[in-house]
């Protein structure tokens, strides 16, 4: 078994890191920066990426990074790739474990991870690193294995020691009460929702998906969402606060399906995830809670509720 050394990224590693991504994923990796060594180096120089590499026989054979945002309290563990010649030695897990320690040293309060569902490897790695799964992101990104199939992802969150992220104590809809109670058991609760930071409404488009982030969901916004084209794939992240139960019901009547939670990357609270327009898909997930959530989502899109006017309960 060849000796493997973990060390910090060096500027001279950029070409080797780029070659490694191309070797594993061909031309299909969703983050295009990995195909330009200049961009890899620039992201590190600008402190957007913080990477570690694994070296075997003098060659870069593994890579993983924290994606950093100066305006966020969260980092993302991502860009993990390991040469097939050294797989089976938990290299990605070792890189991830060291990067979680680095996240704390860099002053971040938590780390997220997006786990591929095409295979179980990243899901098992995330579980081994102590991530708690909080949501499913259906048809979230182009598949790194090519073809027209999109990749659904499992979202995980790991708090950094010393920082808590409790959920607000709310009345949960019957349909998601069991799931929300599981999240409360893991993260705890607080009386009030955390303060909102940033613009109250955002809408961006990426990979053919429209991604909205909203601080609240009133009747006016619901009517505007209902007027968007039916063929749009829309993902909504809604602040978890008073009124969630009513918003859940209203969005459900409009064809949106609840898919879990995401930590608010601008504040200390949580966002509820809703999606519309994703394709039916059978998945076998490592986490039983995420499997149940995915199966519930599939049942809902197979039997969509009847539409009702905004402002009225179904």
**261 within 8 A of 290, measured Cβ to Cβ:** no
The position carrying tokens 């790695």 is 125
Q: Calculate mean pLDDT across residues 299-310.
A: 67
- Residue 79: phi and psi, rounded to 5, are 55, 40
Q: Pick the range with the lowest mean pLDDT from 111-120, 131-140, 204-213, 296-305.
A: 296-305
pLDDT band, very low/low/confident/very high, at 249 (cuts 50, 70, 90): very high
Domain residue spans of the chain: 4-159, 167-302
Nearest to 70 by CA among 98, 47, 102: 47
Buried b (16+ CB within 10 A) or exposed e, 129-166: bebbbbbbbbbbbbbbeeeeebbbbbbbbbbbeeeebb
Task: Please check the confidence at residue 32 and state whether its pLDDT lies above 80.
Answer: yes
Q: Name the DSSP letter for residue 170.
A: -
Return the pLDDT at 146.
65
Q: β-pairing, 233-239 with 257-263?
A: unpaired
Q: What is the pLDDT of residue 148?
A: 66
Which backbone phi and psi does 152 adopt, to 5 degrees?
-85, 145
- CATH number of this structure's domain 4-159, picked from the four choices 3.40.50.720, 3.40.630.30, 3.40.50.300, 3.40.50.970: 3.40.630.30
pLDDT (0 to 100) of residue 306: 57
- Measure the CA–CA gap between 196 and 125, rounded to whole angstroms: 32
pLDDT band with cut points at 50, 70 and 90 for residue 314 = very low
**pTM of the predicted model, to two decimals?**
0.93
127-185 pLDDT, tens digit per residue, is: 999 999 999 999 988 877 766 678 899 999 999 988 999 999 999 999 999 999 999 99
| pLDDT at residue number 242 | 95
């Amino acid at each position: 078994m060849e000796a493997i050394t973990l060390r910090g990224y060096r500027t001279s590693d950029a070409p080797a890191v780029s070659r490694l991504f191309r070797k594993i994923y061909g031309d299909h990796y969703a983050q295009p920066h990995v195909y330009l060594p200049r961009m890899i180096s620039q992201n590190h120089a600008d402190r957007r990426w913080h990477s570690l590499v694994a070296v075997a026989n003098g060659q870069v054979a593994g890579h993983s990074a924290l994606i950093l945002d100066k305006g966020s309290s969260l980092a993302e563990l991502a860009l993990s790739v390991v040469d097939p010649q050294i797989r089976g030695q938990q290299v990605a897990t070792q890189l991830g474990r060291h990067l979680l320690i680095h996240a704390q040293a860099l002053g971040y309060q938590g780390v997220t991870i997006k786990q591929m569902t095409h295979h179980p490897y990243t899901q098992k790695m995330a579980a081994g690193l102590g991530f708690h799964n909080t949501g499913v992101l259906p048809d979230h990104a182009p598949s790194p294995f090519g073809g027209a199939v999109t990749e659904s992802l499992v979202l995980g969150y790991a708090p950094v020691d010393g920082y808590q992220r409790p959920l607000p104590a709310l009345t949960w809809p019957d349909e998601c009460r069991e799931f929300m109670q599981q999240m409360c058991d893991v993260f705890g609760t607080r009386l009030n929702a955390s303060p909102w930071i940033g613009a109250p409404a955002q809408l961006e488009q990426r990979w053919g998906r429209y991604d909205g982030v909203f601080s609240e969901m009133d009747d006016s916004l619901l009517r505007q969402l209902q007027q968007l084209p039916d063929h749009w794939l829309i993902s909504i992240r809604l602040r978890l606060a008073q009124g969630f139960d009513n918003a859940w019901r209203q969005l459900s009547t409009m064809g949106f399906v609840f898919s879990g939670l995401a930590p608010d990357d601008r504040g200390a609270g949580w966002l509820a995830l809703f999606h519309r327009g994703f394709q039916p898909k059978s998945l076998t997930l490592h986490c039983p809670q995420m499997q149940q959530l995915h199966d519930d989502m599939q049942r809902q899109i197979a039997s969509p509720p009847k539409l009702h006017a905004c402002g009225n309960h179904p």
